Structure 1
């Protein structure tokens, strides 16, 4: 291909350009620390050079186990700048789970926050590919280093300061030769077996970043608060996107309602991302209140209920509802707002906004298909599997050709999500294939039941799963967290559901609980609720 008219795509070019155009502009804020974009680029170069000095070569995997700190943001540019592959590890995993990811990815170096050393110590005893464990001490949070864990790691332990001292300011090339080379490997949650390593490319990350900029309406004045973990789908590619547009990153070590509201007001935050459960935490914090500036919340991970959408509207927030998976670089579709929706009654408008929508600008769009890969009727009721393809689908599962072939069968990526296609071309998710409740031969969408429960004024959070039933095979059961200071009985909640949807879909039992089990990204872990209900019995779907 003509080199004059073709340059391989890479999000590395975003930081190079932004540091050149706005070298003095605030790029990252964390507590009392602040880095301009010029300083961010310089730190990135130094870390990339330090990785090379530590023996990291092109294609090697570099693992990071770290909260949303500036160092984690630097990693998204420094690791690929060193021509290596970033493996961002979930910070809530056990030592055994961390060991599996380090071993499976063949990570050469692990860079970790000191808080995670107790989990890291046993993990690196198993993962013998790791030559060094580089530990960062977060002075802003006052987090020290565990002496016993440090001793267990032994001579492989290196301080972050000593590591970066190996680096230099000698410039590196911000371009790549092959845009289809891996930029990162993201591991799935692994609730139904070992997690899979999802391979992202430079090209895919570059294009998905533009989708984030366009659909979340980012601009050079964006102030983005890091409520979404950077280890989750590389933060939906937002480390690259916000940098590319020249916005400011506000880092956050821990998702807490009071801290979030403090930072929103202090820095006049304009954007944040998160799962609906994270949004619920923000909306229901004691410090919550209307703002005198616009805040756009991009939400995904589970369908937000119409009730949550209305609550966001009342707070004056802009709402961007997106849908995707780890395999699609995070968001793949968006519920694109239509002008005529503004004339709808609030509840009806919220219902259409809760749909998963249409493919984002950088995608090839969504299909809903039957078992023969034929499109289901666009009638809003015939269910099928949601499939997708294009530039923003993974290159494949790392070291798993069989799993990749299965996911890509028929030339499309199979999401495992069940949905319907509406006459207007918008897709609506009805359930995960493993979560749908089949009661007496009838499919019951747990999402539909959850949304009915969420419309009750006392309900804060809810999860619905299928449980055994002697007559019908299985039936829905609800687990509900009530709002602070609110009361509701099991009978009252069941009757409320019956006023919203067909009676046979209503749960027979509602357990009032203090909290729901969640992943580190805020997704509710339904398997943790379902498994005890099926103990000693054979369930038709595992996981």
Structure 2
């Protein structure tokens, strides 16, 4: 049987899914909506669109064309938002560079993409000067110099000066929606970071699915047109979870905080009326501590999507006391990133801590080691595997890892999870973090959540260490305010977990073999707890 296709008139012009159409639609319906950068810059969507054209003109004059990779090293800013649009709209590739990586990792990331142009903030001038000798292809550099105090040889110009000299409009043209729009590198894995890439089609579909989901959320758990949006996830990290594009699509007022300074974030929230943000748990903890420092009794209303790692119950409760409604989301660099968001029609805080309901167009199942699907009963566990139209197709230049990623025709998340009959996903642990003791699995996530309920514990992490009898045994690292209370905290934690084991809330063999009190937990470049570093300390 042959397939049939929709007929088209002779004058019909097919429209692809291009990032350009998000911006054009927003300007057509909300030209006077505001975008704010710290306390330094304020302009409208219409003015932003003009600057996008100017940036494209300036980059074109510097040799950027279709397929050129343009790297950006900046804090969360209106300039980054302009690059989100201008570079892909030219048919070029935007590389969002994780500025917190090591020197060797940065050189690897920029060399692997063949980046030839770099836009960088003056805060990174010393770092850029250091890595450029190892990057001969990276020949054109644009400096962002907010304070006019940095001079640097070899730059093609300063960002604002180049934009002022460039002329709008730029003649953006249509092209294949499957053209690569962005690239960046995953973090937190062994070895060097792996590159991922996303097309215009993938990014637009992700934005549409995410916007739909956020609109379906209960009141106070989503993003709507009367909200004020401020990202607290770095814009170099998986498109800031795709939400700057969603906010633009929805014509929402946007506030960009630049470098994260807790007192300034609180000030921007109050002054600009911010009502929606997203962050990892460590950033949320930073905000709550800052609010306590300045004596801010309430931050309501403020909805906070929390991802990157599990949302602990104790942190959720602390946020609630400060007037912040938290709800979890789930995704990873390879998924663009959001594939699930939690929601609850009532006061079910536990439901809001789960990875959540699958967003539209996402298929998910859990499988055993032989790729056999597990029951969707909320109890049976397996590795979470996914399909969706926007998942990265491969790790460019790494065929072996790509084959592992898509083994059996599903994207492997390496997360142990359960799925309920209504499609709610609950992450139990990372495959690499789950502890196998005496033939049984111990969830580090569950242990950490229990420990964080202790009033003295600010941060907690559990890892498995080799044991000659049991295979592995868990050990726990904790951070408390007063080190003088370390012995008290450790003794009472042991008693607390033993009590949970005695009442059947956790298995007895899951009680950690020992506790260690440390000044701070090591973090990855995106603010997650670095368990690999903790393992290195115990080896």
Same-fold status (TM-score > 0.5): yes
Contact 1:224 1:247 in 2 (8 A): yes
CA-CA distance at 1:23 after TM superposition: 2.0
Contact 2:330 2:338 in 1 (8 A): yes
Question: CA separation of 1:390/1:427 partners in 2, compared to 1, >3 Å: closer, same or farther?
Answer: same
Bigger mean CA offset, 163-172 vs 74-83: 163-172
Bigger mean CA offset, 508-517 vs 271-280: 508-517
Question: CA separation of 1:130/1:163 partners in 2, compared to 1, >3 Å: closer, same or farther?
Answer: farther
Aligned to 2:146: 138
Query: Is 1:383 aligned to 2:391, yes or no?
Result: no
Contact 1:469 1:475 in 2 (8 A): yes
Q: Give 1:488-527 correspondences, 5 Å limit.
A: 488-500=488-500, 501-527=506-532
What is the distance in 1 between the residues matched to 2:509 and 2:18?
52
Aligned to 1:538: none
Query: Is 1:7 aligned to 2:19, yes or no?
Result: no
What is the distance in 2 between the residues matched to 1:489 and 1:333?
36
Aligned to 1:255: 260
Q: Give 1:57-456 correspondences, 5 Å limit.
A: 57-139=65-147, 144-145=149-150, 150=152, 154-156=153-155, 158-164=157-163, 167-173=166-172, 176-189=174-187, 191-216=189-214, 217-285=222-290, 286=292, 287=294, 289-291=296-298, 293-337=300-344, 339=345, 341-342=346-347, 349-361=348-360, 363-456=361-454
- Give secondary structure in 2 for the equivalent of 1:284: helix
CA-CA distance at 1:326 after TM superposition: 0.4
Question: CA separation of 1:419/1:521 partners in 2, compared to 1, >3 Å: closer, same or farther?
Answer: same
**CA offset digits 1:134-174 (Å, max 9, x no partner):** 111123xx8x43x6xx3xxx43553324543563212333x
**CA offset digits 1:116-148 (Å, max 9, x no partner):** 122212322111111212111123xx8x43x6x
What is the distance in 2 between the residues matched to 1:321 and 1:87?
27
What is the distance in 2 between the residues matched to 1:95 and 1:332?
32
What is the distance in 2 between the residues matched to 1:382 and 1:8?
41
Question: CA separation of 1:43/1:436 partners in 2, compared to 1, >3 Å: closer, same or farther?
Answer: same
**CA offset digits 1:271-311 (Å, max 9, x no partner):** 11001121122223323645475211011101101222233
What is the distance in 2 between the residues matched to 1:250 and 1:27?
6
Question: CA separation of 1:210/1:288 partners in 2, compared to 1, >3 Å: closer, same or farther?
Answer: farther
Aligned to 1:460: 458
- Give secondary structure in 1 for the equivalent of 2:329: strand
CA-CA distance at 1:56 after TM superposition: 1.0
CA-CA distance at 1:524 after TM superposition: 0.9
What is the distance in 1 between the residues matched to 2:470 and 2:395?
38
Bigger mean CA offset, 326-335 vs 511-520: 511-520
What stretches of structure 2 of length at least 5 have no aligned partner?
1-5, 215-221, 501-505
CA-CA distance at 1:313 after TM superposition: 2.9
Question: CA separation of 1:5/1:504 partners in 2, compared to 1, >3 Å: closer, same or farther?
Answer: farther
Question: CA separation of 1:20/1:190 partners in 2, compared to 1, >3 Å: closer, same or farther?
Answer: same
CA-CA distance at 1:228 after TM superposition: 1.0
Report the number of matched residues: 515
CA-CA distance at 1:51 after TM superposition: 1.1
What stretches of structure 1 of length at least 5 have no aligned partner?
343-348, 535-543
Bigger mean CA offset, 206-215 vs 471-480: 206-215
Normalized against structure 2, the TM-score is what? 0.90
Aligned to 1:540: none
What is the distance in 1 between the residues matched to 2:456 and 2:102?
35
**CA offset digits 1:381-436 (Å, max 9, x no partner):** 33211000111211322233332222112111001111123354322111111111
Query: Is 1:530 aligned to 2:532, yes or no?
Result: no
Contact 1:76 1:86 in 2 (8 A): yes
- Give secondary structure in 1 for the equivalent of 2:154: helix
Question: CA separation of 1:352/1:293 partners in 2, compared to 1, >3 Å: closer, same or farther?
Answer: closer
**CA offset digits 1:303-347 (Å, max 9, x no partner):** 10122223333333333311000011121111232x3x53xxxxx
Contact 2:188 2:524 in 1 (8 A): no
Normalized against structure 1, the TM-score is what? 0.89
Contact 1:186 1:234 in 2 (8 A): no
**CA offset digits 1:236-274 (Å, max 9, x no partner):** 112211111111221112323322211111111011100
What is the distance in 1 between the residues matched to 2:295 and 2:445?
27
**CA offset digits 1:488-529 (Å, max 9, x no partner):** 421211221222322211112222222111124221111111
Contact 1:62 1:86 in 2 (8 A): yes
